[in-house]
Each structure stands twice: as C-alpha cells, then as structure tokens.
Structure 1
Amino acid sequence: MEGFTLLLFGLAMLKTLAAATLRDTINTMQPVNDGQIIVSAGEVFALGFFSPSNSKSRYLGIWYYKIPIQTVVWIANRDNPLTDSSGVLKLNETGLLVLLNHNKSVIWSSSTTRSAHYPIGKLLDSGNFIVQDGNNNNDPKDFLWQRRNLITGLNRYLSSWNSSDDPSRGKYSHQIDTAGYPQFVMREGTVKRFRFGSWNGIQFSGAPQVKQNSIFRFNFVSNEEEIYVKYDLINKSVLHRLVLATDGFLTGISWSDEENVWREFAIVPVDDCDYYEKCGAHARCNINNFPPCNCLEGFVHSRQYTNGGCVRRTSLSCYGDGFLKFSGLKLPDTERSWFDRSISLEDCRILCMKNCSCTAYSTLDISKESTGCLVWFNDLIDIKEFTESDQDIYIRMAGTEVEAIQSMQSHKSNSRKQKTIIISCVLSIGILLLCLTFIIHRQWRTWQKGRKMKNDLEEDASVMNEQGNEDVELPMFDLSTIRSATKNFSLDNKLGEGGFGSVYKGILEDGREIAVKRDSKNSSQGLREFKNEVMHIAKLQHRNLVRLLGYCIQSGERLLVYEFMANKSLDSIIFDEKKSVLLDWPRRLHIVNGIARGLLYLHEDSRHRIVHRDLKAGNVFGYMPPEYIIDGAYSTKSDVFSFGVLILEIVSGKRNRGFGNQDNLLAHAWRLFTEGKSTEIVDATIRDSLNLSAAVRLIHVGLLCVQLCPDDRPSMSSVVLMLSSESTLPQPKLPGLFTTRNLVGDSSSSGSYKQYSNNNMTVSTMSAR
C-alpha cells in the first residue's frame, strides 16, 4: 500500500511539472496561465509571466531559458501591467493572441492582416513567437518579438525601459527616420540625440567601427515596399544582444558562460562628437582635436549660431559655383535630403549644379561602383570626422572659393612633398654615414683583436718559456682536447656563468667527465696572475674542495679543468620543494660541517691563506658582507659571514634573497632568536628527523657568523670547534643586514672597519662546480 501511495505521488508530481512547462506550441484549446511557460524546441527561449526585480506587477514576456540571470528580450503588456497572477494568454479562432486579466478583459492583443483557419502559436529558437495556419506551417501570421525588421506602416523600434523595475516605455527610442533618405536616429522624447548616419551599402556613415567585426554583419534593405535592418550573427553559438539602456546608450553585449555575466563589446554614443549637432552647421567634430569643433574649409565661425556653427566665407552665386570634395566624414543629417538609386555620380553632380538650392551631393551606394545620388538642400549639420571613411561628399561653394582652397591644398601638397624629399635625403645621408662609421669601426676592432691575439700568443710563449712548467704541478691540456670535450663550448654543454666567465661540461676521450672554467674575454686578469692562481689552486688538497685536474693557456684562451660534480650545486636541491626532502637533518648537518672544514683548510691549513669570496648555495654570486659593500674591505671574516648566511639557508630551506617576509632571512632569524623562537625558521620537511638542541645551536652559530662588525665574528677554527662541541656560546650581536629598514633602533654599530688584507694572503674566487 505504501509503495502504491508513493507511485501516485510521483505521477502527480510529473503531471504538475508537465503542466508548468509546455511544449513550444499552443493552440486555441490550450491557454498559457501565470505559472506556466512555453519553451522553444532547442530550449533557447521561454515565454511566460514574470515580475521585474523589486516589482509586484506581472508581465507577459520572452526571456533566455538557460541563462541563470533572467534576461527579458520582449514584453507584451509593458505599458499595461497585471496587478496579480490571474493573467492568461489565449489564441483565438482567428489567429489573434490576447492577454486577459482577472475580469477576462483584454489588456493586450496581437495584430494581423489576415485570419487563420487552424491557428497554432509557436516559440522559435530565434526568440520569435509566430502564429501559423495549422494547414500550412510555412505561413507565419504574426511576429511578437522585435526582429529589427521595420515594415512600412508597422514601425517597430527599440525603446528603453523607464527603470530596471519598470519596463514601460522610457524616454529614449531608437528607430529609422524615413524623412529624406532613411537613417537610424536615437531620440530623447522627440529630440534627436544621436544619429547612426545613412547606409552607404557597406556601413552606416556615422559608425565605421561596425564595418568589419567578428560578431555580426549588418544588412539594410530599403525599397518601395519596406525598410528594415537586421544583423546576422557570425558565431551563432554565442548569445548576443543589442540593448537600449535607460540612460540612452545603445549597447552590444554577449553572454560569457565562464563568468555567467553579460559582457559589453560595443556602445554608442562613443564620445561627445557622436551627440547630435555637437558643432552646429557646416562644422566637423573630432574628439582628438582641441577644440573639437572646426569649420569646414570655405566656412568661418558665425555668431548667428548659438551652438558655434559656421557660415560661408563667400556667398553662393548659383551658376558660378563649384564643388569641393571632402573625405573621412560622417554624412550630414539626411532628414531634408533627396535621393535616387539609379543615376550615376556625374549625373548627380549635374542635378545639384542646376538646382541653386542644392548644397551638397554624394553617392548613395559605394558597394556598387558608386551608384545612386543623395543631395542636400539645407544647412549641413551633425558632421563628425573619422580617421578613415570610404565615402566622399561634394559640398557646394563659390567658384572663387573652390579655386583658392584647391590652390592652397596644392601648395600644401607640394610643400609636404618638398619636406618629404628633404627629410628622405637627410635620412639617407645619415644612414650612409652610420654604415661607413660601422664598417670602419668593425675593421678597426678586427685589427685590434688580431693585434691583441698576436700579443697574447707572444706573451703565452714568453711566460711559458720563462720557467717552463716546473712550478705548476698540473697537466696542461691542449686546446683542441678541451674543444672536443665541450663540443666547441656548445651552449648545450654550458652549466652556468658569472663575472669570471662561463663553465662548461665536457667528456674526455677516456670517458672522464670534466667541468671547464673559461675566463671571460673581458677579464682584467693577466697571464701571470692566471698562472699564479693555477699554482695556488693546484696545491690545495682537501676532501671538501673540488679537485683541479689541469689547465690550458693557448690562443688567448685561459681555461681551468675541474672534476665534474654530478650532483650539481646545493641550491638545486635545498631550495626545491620536491628535492629538499632528500636532505634530512643529519645530511644537512654533515654538509655544514664539511663546508666548515673546507673553509678552515683554506684559511689556516693550506700553504697560502686563501679567501674564498664566492661562498653560497648556488656558487654563482657570493654573499657580500657589510664591510665589503661600505668600504670594499674583504678578509677571512668575510668568508665567515657568507658561511653564516649559508647555515641559515640550509636550516630554513629558504633563500636569503627573495625571502618571503618583510625582513630578509638574517633579520628574520635574528628576530626569532631574540624572541626564543629559533626553531620556527627550520625547514618543515626535516622536522621529523630534527635534533632540536643541535638545530638551535647551529642557528646560534650562524648568527654569530653574520654579525655586523667583522671583529665580532669567530674565526673558522672557532666555528669548527663550536660545531663539534657543546661549549657555551656567546650571545650574537645585531647581524649585518642588507637594507636599512631592518636595522633595530640604536643597536647598529657605527664603528669603523679595518682593511683586512696583507702580503701573505691570496684573494681568489673558486666558482667551478
């Protein structure tokens, strides 16, 4: 029994839904009540009753069915709303659609010129609701939705709403003015506000921007029987509308499925020059000029026009007059014009010349080799200037005025030609001189390069023969071997570059992988300095330093050959979100200790004290300590500073430069340390393997290394001892920060810096991988 009850309930619901949504057609026996809708076959449009936002009045209308924002495109009773939900739409036996209220009184009805025997109403996917004879489906009787099809005597046009809540006819209308040659006009009440201009076979003369577009194509038809305009959508899958808004702007909008909103793609009026008669008679408006209004050639400003119009400079004499051609203009108002579609432009000129009242003429259709004739008999008003236009107008002027203007135009044209010739000659001579200068300079540089190469070869031979290779405990590679290994220093083999030059990967004939440091051609280092550097690096032997395999001094090239480090630089792993998990806490601590022992070897255990100067995770541009930035001073304590920055980067997994905080990494670590929150800087990927006390101690050591004053920083031997023991550490002072915004109060040191350099110290940059 319970299942039977549920079945009855389900059937009742289906019946209710079917009653609410009707098919796309109705007949004389099937009215549309308030609460029911008719949906077109493709579910594009729906017809039914609705209320605008914040309104209780009911209207019969058509709207887009699938758009979430109800968008009404047509209303039957816009000036006669229903006060309740008792409205009914019926189709009577003669084919008339009638809208009845609660008293069964007709408040709206359609119009038709003939009756139908078996009328059927149908809502199309185009938004049109048509009444057909049931015996002939191809014979529509009436159109309810505005199709922009204006048939003589019917006069359909666009009119704005009064407000967003009131769809009754507003004060703005947009329609075809059939007085004279037909043209589109927007009015506020009875006053003209904007003119699209007349149709010239391709476009409306006042809207050249719609000539070519990717959205729609205009089609204007004007003959003895009918006048109408329509536009065909290029992409019919996209919804487009032409809306006359309550503020008088005619707007083209399209629906965005991604954003669920209507997007504006065109609007008129575009600027102040579009407003009707902006500049008065015989004047043109160009919004890019100042002032925008200027008289046409042959006309001057006159006080007789309150809106700044112009009058003829020389009065007409009828038979002694001529015509001056104007291009790039919106044709004047055609309300009092005359036209003939059959005659040629020359015949049009003759007709205008014979009629002393004719003030201007133009071709009617520029799409058919300039056929048809359009003439004006009154003042020429509402003219706008465009950068380009396909239509010309010929304005009547006194013969003497035409001759004077043409002579002036010819003089200006000749003057422009002369200027063009002069400018072209000057530019040609200038280009020729530049080319000669370039060729001479290039030859001079080639000569200089050859001379330098010759001197370098002589210097190479001199230096190498001076002491032989007895002081260099490394093999000297042949340049051809290096070129072969690096594929002639191919870009594909390039590992990186810096101020010193570039580094390339290579493979020797025996299969060994090498990294070749190629000194820059612009390097200020001489051959003796380079050889001195090779001798010092060759004597360095430590497990934490990259081993130098050899060198090459040949044909101006200065090359150092290192063993290739397959794991790349530290920054490629530690700053990578995915790869950084490979370095847990024990591995990171091991890396820090290894770097510390390598620096200790350079500073104190090697034969010569060496300052690294390029210590960082990426090993491309070292961390500069404050004393180097301020005074240019560099010492072993500078390496200690760089080592401290490196410690903080290894612990945090963050770069010092580009650190995502209002402070840089040093300032951030310092603030957390002073607040007792040092562990907050630790990389989240190593927290599971973290030794808390060891991490806090390592951060402490890092802050000791980056103190502002070099004298306060520990030596590398002290650093190694701090890392390998649990002795009490001194409190760090304010670190050397890179930006003044991070300095804390008066804690910054104002002491001077010593010049840390002496004769038993070698400053070197070790940058190879």
Structure 2
Amino acid sequence: MANNFRTPTFFLSSLVLFSYSLIVFSNAANTIKQGQSIGDGETVISSGENFVLGFFSPENSTNRYVGIWYNKVSIQTVVWVANRENPISDTTGVLTIGEDGNLVVLNGSRNPIWSTNASISSNTTATLMDSGNLVLASSDNMTHPGIWESFEYPTDTFLPGMRVTDKHIFVSWKSANDPAKGNYSMGVDLQGSLQIVIWEGSKRIWRSGQWNGLTFAGVPNTRALYLYGFKVTNDEREGKMYLTYTMLNSSEILKFRINWNGSEEQRSWDEERKEWSLVMSQPSNKCEVYNKCGNFGSCSITDSPICICVEGFKPKFIEEWNRGNWSGGCVRKTQLQCQRNSSVEAAKEDGFLKFKRMKLPDFGDSVTVQDTDECEAECLKNCSCGAYAYVIGMGCMIWGRDLVDLQHFQQFGSSLFIRLADSELDPWKKGSKEQSLFVLSKSREFSSHFSGPDDLAWNLWNEGKAMEFMDTSISFSEFEVLRCIHVALLCVQDSAMERPTMSSVILMLESETASLPRPKQPTFTIVRNHTEMDLCTESPEIVSANDVTVTMVFGR
C-alpha cells in the first residue's frame, strides 16, 4: 500500500517540476513562432535579457495591454504598447501569430483587437531584440530585413538604435495611467536643417532648433550630443534622412520620451538609487514655448520683460504688447526698398543687420552656396527673403516668410542677418559686419603660444585660472582662450571613446552653439593602449557644409 501511494506522488511531483521547467524555458525564449501563443502572465525576454514582451497593467488600472518594458530596471517602465487603443478588461488575452503570418492580440472571445496587418506570403517568426525592437520576419530567411518591426511604429519613447524619419511620430499617453494616444506628439522636421518638434494636435509648442552636426542649435545649454552618439544620416540609396543615437557606454540605460503633459524628457537609470534621473526636459523655461513673443519678436529669459521686437520692428498691437500679451508679434517700421515703387527710394538699397547669439527662426530653407557672401547674395535675389544665416554644420539658410520663434541667448547661439530698409540701418552703419573668425586657424596660432605641460593646463583650468596659461603677448578674447583649452583637454582624455572626432573638434571651435561636456582629469600617460584610436587626429579630411572636402595635414 505504501509503495502504491508513493509512486503516483513521485510521478505527479516529477510532472510538476517538468512542466515548470518547460514554462521557464518558454518564458526565457526570445521568439514566438507560428502556431505558438503567449498568454497573460507569460513573457518573452530578449537574448541579452534587456527587454521583456508581455501583458501589463498601468498603475491604478486593471486594463491589460501587450507591451515591451525594461527587464533590468526595477520600476516597470514601458517603452512600447501594441493595443494602446483597445485594452483587454481581464487576463484572458493572448498574443500569437495568426494563420496569415501576422502578430495578433486576441481577447478572451478570441476576437482580434490588434494586428501588425502586414502583407505576408510565408511563415513568420517574431523576435524580441536586445534593442527593444520587436521584429516579425520570414521563418525561411531570418537574416532578411523584417517584414514588420515595432521601431517603425513607436509609441512615446525614442530608444537607441531607432532610425527616426519625418514619418515616425511619437505620441504621448493620454494620461499617466492610460497608454491611449494623447494630445501631444513628437517628431523630426526636415525643412531646412533637421530639428525635433513637439506638437499639441497640429500646433507647434516647442522645437529644438536646427541640427548643426554636433547638437541642436536651439538648446545651447545641452551637453554636446556626440557623447550620446547622435547622428543625422542622409541615405541617398533609400532617399531618407534620419536621426539615430547609440550609447557609447552599453551599460547605461537612457531614454527620450514625450510625456502625457507635453514635455519631452531625457532620463537615465540610476541603479544605485533605483530611480530614473532627469537629465534634461523641454520646454525648460518660458522662452522655449514656441513663438512666445510672436512674429519678429525675440525672447530672452534674462530680460524683463522677456519679449522685445527685433531692431527695425515695432509691436503690432502696442496696448496688448504693453500689457504683456506678446502673441500679436511685431511688424516692420519701414518697408523694404524692393517693396516700394518710388524711383528716389529705389536708389537706397536694403541691407542686413547682424543679430548674435540667436536661436534661428523656424521654417528656413537650405541653399547650396560656398560662403556667407554668396548666402547674402542669394537672399538679396528675392524680395521676400527677410533674413539669412550661414552656420558651420548647416550651411546657408534663408527665410522667405515672417521670422517666428526667435530667442536670444546669453552665450552660444547663431548669428542671424535680418534684412532692413536703408533708413533703419543708418544708426548701425549700413551693411557693416563683424570680421568673421576662422577658428581653426586661430586655434593653431593660439596653440603656438601655449607654455607649460599638459598637467599645468588641467590644473589651471580646473581651478578657474585657465587664463594664466595664455601668453600675454597674444590678443584673443577670454571666451576663445577658454574654448581652445577646453577642447584641447577633451582631445587628451584617457579613453578614446571620450575624445571627440576631428570633425567634432572643428564644429566645437567654429560653432557658436555647442555646449561642451566637462573633461575628466587626464592621466597624461606617455603610452596609450595601442588598440585605442586617437580620435582627435583620426581623419585629415574635413567635410564642409557644402560637401566640399578639404584635406589638411596635422603635425604629430
């Protein structure tokens, strides 16, 4: 009797353990094959265990959704949602690959509530990649590009490895606890030079300013974005321009997200504190609100009031303006010569006034020219052209409409040349411009006056005494001196991954917009690891904004 009792007990125990091992194995797999299903409570984990695919409920909600979230973050943080508009009210949902090869979410009645809805002619397999990308591909050729992938249909989070074009729109959640589509969206605008834009419905509420090859020019207080591997690529073969970023430190977890309240946040996971640390958020002040001061109005957060009309313009509605309602913007005091018919006036040509440290206006058009003079000439050809700018990393941009979303910065920013009538230019010496500085040449001249070893440069810079490092016989501004020393220290960082490329160095020195990261104290070892590349002398070729390649020889 005892043996008869123990035998089924042993059998049942073994069966339970075997079944449990199958569940664990199933949950550990990173794929769903045709005919397989994932029920509520089961998950798919990427091969490197970075991301999880499964059913979840937002905080304070009982609705069930299929989503992707971080596996190594203790706070469940969802980065993608499938059935965001059609939640399941209980735990009877299933994720599977249907007979037509599409991924589909079924409710308890086995009715489809979401599908990838792709055109498929073969058996398929869904794979959760370590990047967080869910890829549906042909089972016969898994190396071929996917038939469908979640990166092409993002929710609200921009992850490393995503290739974002003007067709990819990130849409906020409806609320903190409801992943349905909200009122705010974020994407890239390719007009002129690529920039990031946030919309409320169809209305712009914030923009990053144009990409200059190193950073977004309208957010000058950010660290140089090359540290995050940001890159804009113009793929002529595919006919696409896209923005992407990759993490130089693969262990760091970083995300960009459009929040349900309309703000864009960049957060980094702090494993020690077990929380998401805020790196940056936009809009960050009143002047970053889109077109705060109206057309031809300029916003400066350090001034009071924060809005003024740019030189040559006056408030359109003076009483409203004086009450602090600046939405009406500004209008010209004097018509341009090309807009007038008088033969006497025709002799007085229009000119340009230079405005320094500006966030360039929205809706600029790119023009292929060789230099600033040609850019100005291009603007003068058309009476509707009211301003131009020639910026390293962007090239020539002209504006043929009202200037909107202008902002003045205390440092950095770009130079904007606004077209004014002759009479408005008289007090400013018509047509005068500050002498341009070719910073690379200046930095070489400056470097020839350096005195002392590298460790002295670091010590003086770190103590706020970097100006003592300069030979008093040379005449450079304090900003130029500190800029050159700062860039030089970045170029001698111990890790090659922390040193800027040669093209980045050029942009750092020539651009008025780039905010540089703080260098770490170099160890100044004589011999570096032979596997590291000295990125500051990586390439003798510098590609200019008009795609002309200049070959330069650097001394070692």
TM-score (norm: length of structure 1): 0.49
**Aligned match of 1:9 in 7, 13, 17?**
13
Structure 1 residue 310, shift from structure 2 partner:
2.4
Structure 2 contact 351–421 (Cα < 8 Å) conserved: yes
- For the pair 1:245 / 2:259, whether they are aligned, the reply is yes
Matched, 1:91 2:111: no
Q: Secondary structure of 2:84's partner?
A: coil
- 1:123 paired with 2:128, answer yes
- Match of 2:9, SS state, is helix
- Residues 227 and 170 of structure 1: CA distance in aligned 2, closer, same or farther (over 3 Å): same
The question of whether the paired residues in 1 share the 8 Å contact of 2:54 and 2:66 is answered with yes
C-alpha distance in structure 2 between counterparts of 1:207 and 1:200, whole Å: 11
Matched, 1:401 2:424: yes
Q: From 86, 89, 112, give the equivalent of 1:80.
A: 86
| Aligned positions of 1:188-587 closer than 5 A | 188-212=200-224, 216-222=228-234, 225-303=239-317, 307=327, 309-318=329-338, 320-334=349-363, 337-341=364-368, 344-363=371-390, 366-367=392-393, 371=395, 373-389=396-412, 391-406=414-429
* 1:33 and 1:89 in contact (8 A); partners too: yes
Describe the shift of the 1:217–1:383 C-alpha distance in structure 2 as closer, same or farther (beyond 3 A). Answer: farther
Q: Is the 8 A contact 2:300 2:407 kept in 1?
A: yes
CA distance in 1, matches of 2:301, 2:14: 67
CA apart distance, 1:159: 1.8
Name the CA distance, whole Å, in 1 between partners of 2:256 and 2:333: 43
Please give the root-mean-square deviation of Cα atoms over the aligned residues, in Å: 2.8
- Out of 117, 128, 138, the residue aligned to residue 143 of structure 2 is 138
Matched, 1:37 2:40: no
- 1:342/1:401 CA distance change after superposition, 3 Å: closer
Q: Distance in 1 between matches of 2:71 and 2:181?
A: 24
Which shows bigger deviation, 132-141 or 38-47? 132-141
Specify whether residues 382 and 74 from structure 1 end up closer, same or farther in structure 2 by C-alpha distance, changes over 3 A only: same
CA–CA distance in structure 1, aligned partners of residues 410 and 389 of structure 2: 19
| Amino acid in the other structure paired with 1:109 | S
C-alpha distance 120-392 of structure 1, shift in aligned 2 (>3 A): same
1:108 maps to 2:107: no
**Aligned equivalents of 1:244 and 1:323: distance in 2?**
39
Measured in 1, the distance between the counterparts of 2:415 and 2:7 equals 81
The answer to whether 1:67 aligns with 2:73 is yes
Deviation of 1:6 after TM superposition, in Å, equals: 4.4
TM-score (norm 2): 0.66
1:82–1:383 Cα change, 3 Å: same
- What's the counterpart of residue 19 of structure 1? 23
User: Structure 1 or 2: larger helix share?
Assistant: 1
**Alignment of 1:48 onto 2:34:** no
Cα distance change of structure 1 residues 256 and 181 upon mapping to structure 2, 3 Å threshold = closer
**Aligned mates of 2:71, 2:18 — CA distance in 1:** 20
- Matches of 2:226 and 2:367, distance apart in 1: 33
Aligned to 1:608: none
The offset of 1:132, in angstroms, is 2.3
Total equivalences in the alignment: 402
Q: Specify every segment of 5 or more residues in structure 2 that has no aligned partner in the other structure, as ranges.
A: 339-345, 435-556
Q: What is the alpha-carbon distance in structure 2 between the residues aligned to residue 10 and residue 30 of structure 1? A: 25
Q: Aligned equivalents of 2:248 and 2:144: distance in 1?
A: 27
**Deviation at residue 17 of structure 1 after TM alignment:** 5.3
Secondary structure of the structure 2 residue equivalent to 1:221: strand
Query: Secondary structure of the residue that 1:350 maps to in structure 2?
Result: helix
Q: Deviations over 1:621-661 (max 9, x none)?
A: xxxxxxxxxxxxxxxxxxxxxxxxxxxxxxxxxxxxxxxxx
Q: Is the 8 Å Cα contact of residues 174 and 184 (structure 1) preserved in structure 2?
A: yes
On the 8 A contact 1:298/1:401 being kept in 2, the answer is yes
**Residues 713-744 of structure 1, C-alpha deviation per residue, up to 9 Å, x if partnerless?**
xxxxxxxxxxxxxxxxxxxxxxxxxxxxxxxx
> Tell me, what secondary structure is at the counterpart of 1:140?
coil
Cα distance in 1 for residues equivalent to 2:433 and 2:370: 31
State the AA in 2 paired with 1:356.
Answer: C
- Structure 1: where are the runs of 5+ without partners? 412-769
Q: Given that residues 202 and 366 in structure 1 are in contact (C-alpha distance below 8 angstroms), is that contact kept between their aligned partners in structure 2?
A: no
Per-residue CA deviation, residues 305-326 of structure 1 (Å, 9 max, x unaligned), is 7526222233211271112222
Structure 2 CA distance, aligned partners of 1:292 and 1:257? 40
Q: Given residue 326 of structure 1, which amino acid in structure 2 is its aligned partner?
A: F
Report what 2:519 is aligned to.
Answer: none
Contact 1:150 1:226 in 2 (8 A): no
Greater relative contact order: 1 or 2 (C-alpha under 8 angstroms, separation 6 or more)? 2
Distance 2:368 2:249 in 1: 33
Provide Cα deviations, 1:103-161, integer angstroms capped at 9, x if missing partner: 3322111144x536342211111100112223333323222143553346xx2222221
Query: Aligned equivalents of 1:362 and 1:410: distance in 2?
Result: 13
Note if contact 1:366-1:390 (Cα within 8 Å) is conserved in structure 2: no
Query: Shift of residue 70 of structure 1?
Result: 1.1
Alpha-carbon deviation of 1:408?
12
